[in-house]
């Protein structure tokens, strides 16, 4: 018997070092809605139907000492990660303009074989952030 079918990606996590810089990047530059912040540990942002979780890795490697916290097991990562934000094809030029106007270095800007465009940049912690035409992974 096979696994049930997932209905989509609910959340993705990247690991950061500076929550103020992280909030300025994801909330300010990228315009994502801040859902919650716990100083010294995390900031969470709404991204479409999902959530981008930004954690200070060291703080997530130990169980929470907060009695009101949920029993989430320790986790964390070492080194840069990757997250991709979906955009409408007709908005990709606006994204490029916005990034350039804000002096953000664009690492790569190209079209995939299926015609979808991706723009790559780095967040303050060095994570790879991609803004891509939402048709990138469309079937058929």
* pLDDT greater than 70 at residue 41: yes
Distance from C-alpha of 140 to C-alpha of 122, rounded to nearest angstrom: 31
Query: What is the pTM (predicted TM-score) of this model?
Result: 0.89
* pLDDT greater than 90 at residue 16: yes
* pLDDT greater than 80 at residue 47: yes
Q: For 87-114, what is each residue's pLDDT tens digit?
A: 999 999 999 999 999 999 999 999 999 9
- The tokens describing 70, both together, are 């949920």
Domains of the chain: 11-62+80-133 (3.10.180.10)
Place of tokens 């800007």: 109
């Amino acid at each position: 018997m096979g696994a049930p079918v997932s209905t989509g990606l609910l959340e993705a996590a990247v690991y950061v070092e500076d929550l103020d810089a992280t909030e300025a990047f994801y909330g300010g530059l990228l315009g994502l809605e801040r859902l919650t912040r716990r100083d010294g540990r995390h900031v969470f942002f709404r991204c479409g139907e999902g959530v981008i979780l930004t954690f200070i890795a060291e703080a997530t490697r130990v169980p929470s000492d907060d009695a009101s916290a949920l029993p989430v097991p320790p986790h964390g990562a070492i080194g840069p990660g990757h997250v991709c934000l979906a955009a409408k094809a007709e908005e990709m030029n606006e994204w490029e303009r916005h990034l350039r106007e804000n002096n953000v270095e664009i690492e790569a800007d190209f079209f995939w074989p299926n015609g979808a465009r991706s723009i790559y940049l780095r967040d303050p912690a060095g994570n790879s952030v991609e803004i891509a035409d939402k048709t990138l992974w469309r079937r058929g």
